[in-house]
Amino acid sequence: MTVAALVDRALDEGVGMSADECLKCNICNTVCPVARVTDLFPGPKYVGPQAQRFRMGSPLPVAVGGERLRSPDVTVDWCSGCGWCTTVCPAGVKIAEINNRARATMRSGRRPRFRDWLLGQTDLLGRLGAPVAPLANFVLRNRLLRLIGEVTVGIHRRAPLPLYAGQPFRSRWRRRGGRVGATSEAPLPPPDRAVVYFHGCAANYYEPHVADAAVAVLARNGYEVIAPPQVCCGLPLISNGLYGQARARARENLVTLAGYARQGYRIVGTSTSCTHTLKAEYREMLDLDDADAHAVADATWDICEFLVHLHDEGRLDTDFGRLDEELPYHAPCQLRSHGIGLPALDLFALVPGLRAIDFDHDCCGVAGTYGLKREKYEVAMAVGADLFRRIKASGAQATACDSETCRWQIAAATGTPVRHPVEILAAAYAAGDRAAVPD
């Protein structure tokens, strides 16, 4: 099924037809972080539910920057896809999803820009870069080569590209004898004593220390980790309008994960973007609305969400040591889209001495791959400017954030290390263990 056909189908289903529920209240325009900093984007209401009424008709000429353009959708490309509009809409209109589908339709029928295709190939880039990590990281750090990349590819020379780890998490996991599934010699533990870990591309190729912290924290609470074969969740492809490739990735993951979900295993992830994709984007963006997709969505948890659930049931190990520090915290847009509150802050409150401060900023600006693009980099930096200023002014030694791309953006903009909340919890457990050892 073509991208255009998928969007046409959506007009008869939830996402597209949700535009008819728009109240024209303008709340989405009020909270939009992109419209706040640039006139290039007129706001989610105008390119979303309002423009949706015209998309099935004849192309309308619009004027942008003095040029006459045939498509009414051209400005939708400035939408970052942060999801704030959908989150706050009182009528339940799927505004961000409508916008993303419109962007995909605008690009359908033509070869994707190489830059946009490349940003979606996270597995390929990881497999190519990890074996030659020192050389790849030299390229990523070299100013001249980054400038050449900006001119030729369109990725901004100062965009926060992550560095490769020396060895991917999955390689280390197999070397340590970690579980990737059942064998005749080692059947799986019961679902109440094990979880399936969806580590995503970031923890695998760039931040295996996050995966290690997650494994340690889950083990501390009595859960064995199963890390089955998996591919990119597909969100970078969705964000760049490459729905066909995204569906292929999604299907590959669903075939593997649905079997575990039906057996009662929880699927736990350390990337709020990946877990939200499994929970919602496969259905809302890719029209994967079958039994496998529902089973996986119902079984998926963000790791902090899962740990708070354990605490609510009285099953979380709370023998945390003291961490006497002030910790700025940024809640990423994708986390807010889950509708689960801010579970990291609930967990931080259990750690003695830890003074976590929610900086309550709407968006850091990067929005996945959005802020990496040459033409959007300055917009992304403007969106996050106040957050960056406040983090610098705090003088804190580190910041916490649940999303990998947000961590990379904040670290690059402020020079402050940014850690996943599960790393903070792992450090608190380690501090408790040290304190329990007699001198």
> What pLDDT band is residue 18 in, cutting at 50, 70 and 90?
low
Bridging pattern class, strands 62-64 and 67-69: antiparallel
- Could you tell me if 399 and 391 are in contact, meaning their C-beta atoms sit under 8 angstroms apart? yes
User: Residue 437 has what DSSP assignment?
Assistant: S
Q: In what order do the strands lie in the sheet with 194-198?
A: 224-226, 194-198, 266-269, 300-302
Q: Which residues partner with 198 through β-bridges?
A: 269
Across residues 319-326, what is the average pLDDT? 97
Per-residue pLDDT tens over the stretch 334-348: 999 999 999 999 999
Confidence of residue 46 (pLDDT cuts 50, 70, 90): confident
Per-residue pLDDT of 260-298, as tens digits, reads 999 999 999 999 999 999 999 999 899 999 999 999 999
Is residue 12 within 8 Å of 65, Cβ to Cβ? no
| Sign of the Cα pseudo-torsion (161, 39, 95, 32, in order) | positive
Q: Which residue has the tokens 């980054």?
A: 146
Residue 59 pLDDT grade (very low, low, confident, very high; cuts 50, 70, 90): very low
Domains of the chain from N-terminus onward: 3-107 (1.10.1060.10), 114-152 (no CATH), 169-312 (1.20.1050), 325-436 (3.40.50)
Cβ atoms of residues 315 and 130 within 8 Å = no
Is the CB of residue 211 less than 8 Å from the CB of residue 197? yes
Helix (H) / strand (E) containing 197: strand 194-198
Nearest to 220 by CA among 352, 316, 355, 344: 316
| pTM given for the model | 0.90
Using an 8 Å Cβ cutoff, are 407 and 418 in contact?
yes
Estimate the share of the chain in helix, then strand, then coil, as percent rounded to the nearest 5.
Answer: 55, 10, 35
Task: Give pLDDT tens digits for 173-200.
Answer: 999 999 998 776 678 999 999 999 999 9
pLDDT at 181: 87
